[in-house]
Amino acid sequence: MESQSGECLAVLYQPLDHTRRTHWHDVAIVSAFARAMGDAGSVLDVGPGDGWPSLRMADRFSRIVGIDPSPKRVRVQRENAARLGILNVEFLVMDAEAMSFGDASFDGVCAASSIEQCDDPAAALAQVHRVLRPGGTLAMVFEDYSEYFPESDGDEEVWVERARSTDGPGEHVLFYQLRTKSPGREVRYGIVIDGVRLAGDRELSEVVDAMVGTPVSLDLQADSAPKRPDELSIPFLETLAPHVVSAACYELNHVTSRTLDELLRSVGFSEIRHLNHRIPLVHEAFDAAESEGRLDEYASTFVQVCEEIGVRAVDDATSGQGSFVIAQKPPR
């Protein structure tokens, strides 16, 4: 992907817009990150994607370094910094699990939806702890894996989902996402199909179209046979093979609020606090204003309103659940 956010990020790609819910969220989260890291001078951003949140925080810290193992992501991050005229944010190709920085190199570390994308989140957090100065703060947003299984108490479920991408003209991307709840592990198979060639096989094309965007839950405990074998079986993949352009597979080791707490403590962090889940107040404020047709009343004040919510959420952070976590490296 050229832009991993689909060029939808506020400021990085679009002017701040008080009529967009995501922009309210963006301002609140950026303020929460900045507040959490306080008076840090140097900040490390793990896995900045398109340059977020580093580029949004450039005016709040004297030096920010973003690291990402993907050369393509780093190229995009550097291009975005140059386009925005930001000079105090540097992006490096580097894996969070094997950082080349010295111990205690940064006053603060932020990570947005990236630690759980690492092959070994525990190794990445151990490195984060090492490069953070004693007394420094880690602020991170993460995907809480417990939300993937909202209605299930079981431990053995596997989920399969498929999605479609319009990245390239005439290309379909199918994702098989096999998820186990405990341990929190997800295996994603991505299959890129030549849509033009596929169109020549109408029957198969209809099956693929029917698959797109339809999650299927399989309970392997109760019934080991897939409910829709024609779509999920090896014979189906063999039928698809002539139309496949490329394929990739990767595994994710997911975290929940609880397992992340355990990981953070095991590598040496303390004072672990969670913000209210996804800063719901900003969404409530936006939804109320939108449903009452009062959104334009916020045109001049929405940045201030969202910043205040972000700051308040950090000040009110408690232990418990939430997908925004603040942790301290104990002072020496």
Binding site for ligand SAM (CB under 6 A): 4-5, 46-49, 52, 67-70, 73, 95-97, 112-114, 117-118, 124
Which residue's CB is nearer to ligand SAM, number 69 or number 226? 69
Which residue's CB is nearer to ligand SAM, number 40 or number 125? 125
Distance CA 51, CA 30 (A): 12
CB 113 within 8 A of CB 143: yes
**In the complex, least distance from residue 240 CB atom to ligand SAM, rounded to whole angstroms:** 27
CB 193 within 8 A of CB 243: yes
**In the complex, least distance from residue 166 CB atom to ligand SAM, rounded to whole angstroms:** 19
**In the complex, least distance from residue 241 CB atom to ligand SAM, rounded to whole angstroms:** 29
Which residue's CB is nearer to ligand SAM, number 20 or number 228? 20
Which residue's CB is nearer to ligand SAM, number 286 or number 324? 324
Environment class of residue 201 by beta-carbon count within 10 Å: exposed (0-12), middle (13-18) or buried (19+)?
A: middle
**In the complex, least distance from residue 280 CB atom to ligand SAM, rounded to whole angstroms:** 19
Query: Which residues share a beta bridge with 140?
Result: 111, 325
Q: Is the dihedral of CA 261, 254, 5, 279 positive or negative?
A: negative
Tell me the three state secondary structure of residue 243.
helix
**In the complex, least distance from residue 136 CB atom to ligand SAM, rounded to whole angstroms:** 18
Distance CA 273, CA 317 (A): 6
Which residue's CB is nearer to ligand SAM, number 37 or number 240? 37
